[in-house]
């Protein structure tokens, strides 16, 4: 492990001490709350000023209502605003819409956009496609209520990190397919995928990457997350292409994508391959690989790598949404 730690960027090493020790074999419930064990610091006044609203919206037919959080910049808008549907991470099994509160407020304020965070149902209680249906219900609601929200329906982006990035990629594919069937439906102008969880076959790779997956999110945790979502063993022939974005054979006509991943992240190779395949289909892709970075390195908030990633992400969203920073 010492040799592996040497591969971690020096600026990112100290944050590893703050990562919770997660062992899903002991059950999920201990990790369903605040797994970092500390109270959130008070929000600065400028973020407090961002309007925050909680709503329940109709879910997929036959499914329960979906909880969403809506963030709106302060002050009257002079024109229709862009919007971002944010999908939280947590390995498909933990996390909630509230965990991105400060970040979503900052997005709304910096970009002058409406941010909607979706509290999708978690696995293993809800297996695929439950979470996908919840995310699509939120996207459809955002599109259908754009006028009341003061949102431009042609400038709706989706964003997520880790499992949220996987759900966002799956949502982009699902929305494209639904639009083909219905000759309409909610349009997505951009997909922002931070270290996305895309491929269940990483769990069964015959030749796993020798230097990825030691920190932040391990192969054991990955197998648990995918098994919980799929309701079956990941990597096998009974997993359909609809269940994992990386298995989807047709990646054409998808929204432009931004993909960022650490060079030591377990998802490195699946994310690189996904970016390659998108580009081969003519989908514009912006790809960043952060040297010496592990899964969840953003916990090192003041590290230059984290600050650079924030700037890249904000710039990419601004360009996609037509916002001048």
Which DSSP helix (H) or strand (E) runs through 138? helix 130-144
Give catalytic residue positions. 162, 265, 295
Beta strands in 73-181 (DSSP E): 81-87, 114-119, 151-161
Q: Over the range 135-173, which residues count as b (16 or more CB within 10 Å of their CB) and which as e?
A: bbbbbbbbbeebeebebbbebbbbbbbbbbbbbbbbbbb
Residue appearing with tokens 């293993």: 124
Nearest to 134 by CA among 156, 164, 101, 100: 164
Q: If 0-12 CB within 10 Å is exposed, 13-18 middle and 19+ buried, where does residue 267 land?
A: buried
Do residues 31 and 20 touch, judged by C-beta distance below 8 A?
A: yes
CA distance 113 to 41: 24
If you ran DSSP here, which 8-state letter would residue 209 be given? -
CA distance 106 to 95: 19
């Amino acid at each position: 492990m010492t040799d592996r730690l040497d591969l971690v960027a020096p600026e990112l090493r100290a944050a590893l001490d703050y990562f919770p020790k997660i062992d899903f074999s002991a059950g999920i419930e201990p990790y369903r709350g605040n797994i970092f064990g500390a109270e959130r610091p008070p929000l600065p006044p400028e973020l407090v000023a961002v309007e925050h609203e909680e709503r329940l919206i109709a879910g997929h037919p036959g499914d329960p209502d979906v909880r969403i959080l809506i963030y709106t910049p302060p002050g009257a808008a002079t024109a229709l605003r862009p919007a971002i549907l944010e999908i939280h991470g947590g390995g498909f099994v933990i996390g909630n819409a509230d965990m991105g509160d400060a970040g979503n407020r900052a997005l709304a304020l910096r970009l002058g956009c409406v941010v909607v965070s979706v509290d999708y149902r978690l696995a293993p209680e809800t297996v695929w496609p439950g979470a996908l249906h919840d995310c699509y219900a939120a996207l459809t609601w955002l599109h259908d209520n754009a006028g009341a929200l003061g949102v431009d329906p042609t400038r709706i982006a989706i964003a997520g990190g880790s499992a949220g990035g996987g759900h966002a990629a799956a949502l982009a594919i699902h929305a494209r397919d639904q639009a083909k069937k219905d000759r309409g439906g909610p349009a997505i102008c951009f997909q922002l995928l931070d270290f996305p969880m895309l491929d269940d076959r990483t769990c069964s790779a015959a030749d796993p990457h020798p230097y990825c997956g030691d920190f932040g999110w391990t192969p054991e945790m990955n197998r648990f997350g995918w098994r919980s979502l799929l309701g079956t063993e990941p990597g096998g022939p009974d997993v359909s292409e609809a269940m994992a974005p990386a298995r989807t054979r047709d990646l054409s006509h998808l929204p432009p994508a931004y993909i960022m991943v650490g060079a030591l992240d377990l998802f490195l190779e699946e994310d690189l391959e996904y970016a390659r395949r998108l580009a081969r289909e003519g989908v514009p892709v912006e790809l960043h690989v952060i040297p010496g970075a592990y899964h969840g390195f953003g916990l090192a908030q003041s590290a230059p790598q984290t600050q650079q990633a924030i700037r890249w992400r904000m710039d990419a969203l601004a360009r996609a949404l037509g916002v001048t920073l």
